[in-house]
Every structure is written in structure tokens, then in C-alpha cells.
């Protein structure tokens, strides 16, 4: 099996940054933080993505928002592209809280509106067991094309040679059966993210 380390390299270069996927610019009251810690000499840097999911909205807002209760963290846009064409799977070592998280890969825009600034997004669910480190493996062909969180109902294939960014997010509602849902605290430990050829 061949692998390429994605996250550890980016943490060392300061590439991971936090966004709040619309909650910060819309009237949602969810909050999040990304803490980078130096776990120990052997493990190196780790991330802790945590916060609180709220379904409440700011009173008197002029925004017409259909849903709230979500937060995300996203890498800065990569300088150029990450080429994962030689790989078929994304693997992540995570310590979860029983919630379902969403892994997103952003590729160069050619699906939605060529020439526009918005990148194409491809999403897959991850269920990280509570309070234990777990390696989640997601085949690249399981990532579905999405636009603003909704699956695009068309047969499209991701171009893994043109990846411009990645993110992890969490939503108070939805996900996979058996996952913890609803408003409240969330916490996801992230040790590493790798690309694998299985």
C-alpha cells in the first residue's frame, strides 16, 4: 500500500485555518475553534476541532436562512494543486464524539460554473467512534459532488489531480444512522489525514 501524508505537512506549514461555513456570516449562533497541539515527540502536531452547534438564529436578522446548526474548518486554498491521481482512498486518524462529520474535497471548478471563483466540492460522511482513536477510510469514488451542501444529481467524476483544498464540518441534523445528532457540544481530534493507494 502506498500513502502520502496530507494533514501533518499542512499543520507544520500553518495551512489549516478555521472557517465557520456560513454561520459566521449568517445569523446562526453555532461556534467553533481549531486548536493545534504538539501532542508529543512521537505523534507531533494534532488538531482539535470543537465547539457548539446551535439551531437558534439571531433575532431580527434580515437573512432568510433555512437551517442552522453547522460549523466547519477548511484548509487555506493550496498553492497550486495537490495531485492525488495515484491514490484511491482518503484515510483519517480521528477521535470522535459519536457525531457524523463531513469530509469535503475541493477541486478546480469545472462542474458548477467554469470561470467562477467557487470550487467544486465533493463530500462523504465520516462516523468517528466516541473517545477512541479510529482510522476512517473513504474511497475517493464515494465522495459525492455537492453544491452548497446538496448532492448534485448527475453522474460526475472527481478529478483527483486538481485538488485545491479540504475541509471537515459537522451538522446538528442529518448524517448516518446511529450517529449522535442535535444541538450541543462537539469535539473531533485529528491526528493525520493521508491519501492511500489500496
* CATH number of the domain to which 26 belongs: 2.60.120.430
**Domain count across the chain:** 1
Does residue 155 form part of some domain?
yes
Rg of the chain in Å (alpha carbons): 17
Cα separation, 192 vs 195, in Å, equals 10
Grid cell at residue 11: 499543520
Does residue 51 form part of some domain?
yes
* 144-190 per-position pLDDT tens digit: 999 877 888 888 889 999 898 899 999 998 888 989 999 999 999 99
Does residue 147 form part of some domain?
yes
Cα separation, 97 vs 76, in Å, equals 26
Does residue 63 form part of some domain?
no
pLDDT for the residue 104: 94
Domain containing 143: what range?
Answer: 2-57+68-197
Is residue 25 over pLDDT 50?
no
Residues 6+ apart with CB under 8 A from 30: 20, 23, 51, 52, 53, 54, 68, 69, 70, 71, 172
Does residue 132 form part of some domain?
yes
Does residue 114 form part of some domain?
yes
The DSSP annotation for the chain comes to: -EEEE-HHHHHHTT-EEEE-TTTTTSSB--EEEEEEEEEETTTEEEEEEEEEE---B-TT-----S---EEEEEEPPPSS-B--TT--EEEEEEEB-SBEEEEEEEE-SSSS-TTSSPPEEEEEEEEPPBTSEEEEEEEGGGPEEEETTEE--S-----TT-EEEEEEEEESS--STT-B-SSEEEEEEEEEEEEEE-
pLDDT for the residue 15: 40
Is residue 36 over pLDDT 90?
no
Is residue 24 over pLDDT 70?
no
Is residue 68 over pLDDT 80?
no
Does residue 161 form part of some domain?
yes
pLDDT for the residue 27: 52
Does residue 62 form part of some domain?
no
* 80-127 per-position pLDDT tens digit: 788 999 999 999 999 999 999 999 999 987 655 555 667 889 999 999
Pick left, alpha or beta for residue 149 (phi over 0 → left; psi -120 to 50 → alpha; otherwise beta).
left
Grid cell at residue 81: 494543486
Amino acid at each position: 500500500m502506498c500513502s502520502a501524508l496530507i494533514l501533518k505537512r499542512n499543520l507544520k506549514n500553518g495551512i489549516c485555518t478555521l472557517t465557520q461555513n456560513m454561520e459566521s456570516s449568517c445569523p446562526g449562533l453555532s461556534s467553533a475553534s481549531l486548536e493545534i497541539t504538539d501532542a508529543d515527540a512521537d505523534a507531533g502536531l494534532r488538531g482539535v476541532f470543537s465547539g457548539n452547534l446551535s439551531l437558534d438564529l439571531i433575532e431580527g436578522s434580515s437573512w432568510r436562512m433555512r437551517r442552522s446548526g453547522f460549523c466547519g474548518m477548511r484548509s487555506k486554498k493550496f498553492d497550486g494543486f495537490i495531485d492525488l491521481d495515484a491514490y484511491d482512498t482518503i484515510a483519517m486518524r480521528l477521535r470522535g464524539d459519536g457525531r457524523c462529520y463531513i469530509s469535503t474535497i475541493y477541486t478546480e471548478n469545472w462542474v458548477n460554473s467554469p470561470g467562477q471563483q467557487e470550487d467544486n466540492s465533493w463530500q462523504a460522511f465520516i462516523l468517528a467512534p466516541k473517545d477512541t482513536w479510529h482510522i476512517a477510510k473513504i474511497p475517493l469514488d464515494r465522495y459525492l459532488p455537492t453544491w452548497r451542501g446538496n448532492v448534485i444529481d448527475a453522474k460526475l467524476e472527481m478529478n483527483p489531480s486538481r485538488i485545491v483544498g479540504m475541509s471537515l464540518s459537522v451538522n446538528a441534523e442529518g448524517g448516518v444512522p446511529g450517529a449522535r445528532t442535535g444541538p450541543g457540544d462537539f469535539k473531533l481530534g485529528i491526528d493525520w489525514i493521508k491519501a492511500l493507494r489500496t
